[in-house]
Amino acid sequence: MSDIGTDRKRVSPQQQLTAEYMQMANHRSNVHGLVEVDVTDARERIRGIEEATGTKLSFTAFIVYCLATTVAEQPHVQRYRDWQGRTYEFEDVDVNVLIERETDTERVGIPHVIRQANRRTVRSIHDEIRRVKADRTTRKEHRFAGLTRHLPGVLRRQLWRLPQWFPTRWKRLAGSVAVTSVGMFGTGNGWAISPTNYTLQLTVGGIGTKPRLIDGELRSREFLSLTVTFDHDIVDGAPAARFVQRLSEHLEAGLGLDLPPDE
């Protein structure tokens, strides 16, 4: 008799939807760029704000702020094209961000859309992330799953074609760009590559320390591993490279961290 144990734990609706999402996203023309960004100065400013105010600003909130600002400067990276070939370019940047939350049994990443992130401050985004993180209810994250769980699998999977069919509806449901973080579940540097249904997605990896030559002197610096994913059917290589360069500049400069934390 086999001594191998089995676990018949039921797959949650959220896990089922995630698996189907990944399956459908694999059919897109995604191109991934793996970059390292020096975030030493930004992290020092965040630590300084914590020492001065007692508030530890969310690093994810800072990334969302820099992303939304850069997208607002270069809005072509959140264009979508519908089934009739019409192109949609949105003015506001709605960022779908993965927020870690503790349930009764585990810690999971919950998708949440931060609306008009390009019009917000780092502190405002931070406060919203903290509110969602502290919410122990499960109704919100399973709302979409509850609406679709009784549909046949073939129909559920077609829902993930909304970006190509009805971009405006997709934005209202799931935002216009996405940030997902694997670094929050562990330590150390490293990249992750994930398929996506968005024209633009950031996958935030870990932070590692390595030397960098500054003013002729080697200094120990903190580098963020960041994967930037584009839909190559929408965004060409040169505009994508310019976007990544500008985003890196904002992150390295600690954009938004000079404002008083209560603004």
CATH number, residue 35: 3.30.559.10
Give the list of residues 6+ apart from residue 253 with CB closer than 8 angstroms, or none. 41, 42
**Whether the Cβ atoms of residue 125 and residue 65 lie closer than 8 Å to each other:** yes
Best-predicted range by mean pLDDT (50-59, 61-70, 250-259): 61-70
**Whether the Cβ atoms of residue 112 and residue 134 lie closer than 8 Å to each other:** no
Q: What is the pLDDT of residues 95-151, one digit of tens each?
A: 999 887 766 666 677 889 999 999 999 999 999 999 988 875 544 444 555 555 566
The pLDDT of residue 80: 92
Q: What is the pLDDT of residues 141-196, one digit of tens each?
A: 445 555 555 666 666 666 666 667 788 888 988 899 999 886 544 456 778 888 88
Establish if 95 belongs to a structural domain: yes
Establish if 260 belongs to a structural domain: no
Establish if 8 belongs to a structural domain: no
Q: Which of 25-34, 124-133, 207-216 has the lowest mean pLDDT?
A: 25-34
Q: What is the pLDDT of residues 229-244, one digit of tens each?
A: 999 989 999 999 999 9
Domain encompassing residue 181: 27-253
Give how many domains the chain has, as a whole number.
1
**Cα 66 to Cα 121: distance, rounded to the nearest angstrom:** 10
Establish if 2 belongs to a structural domain: no
Strands 200-214 and 217-231: antiparallel
pTM score, whole prediction: 0.82
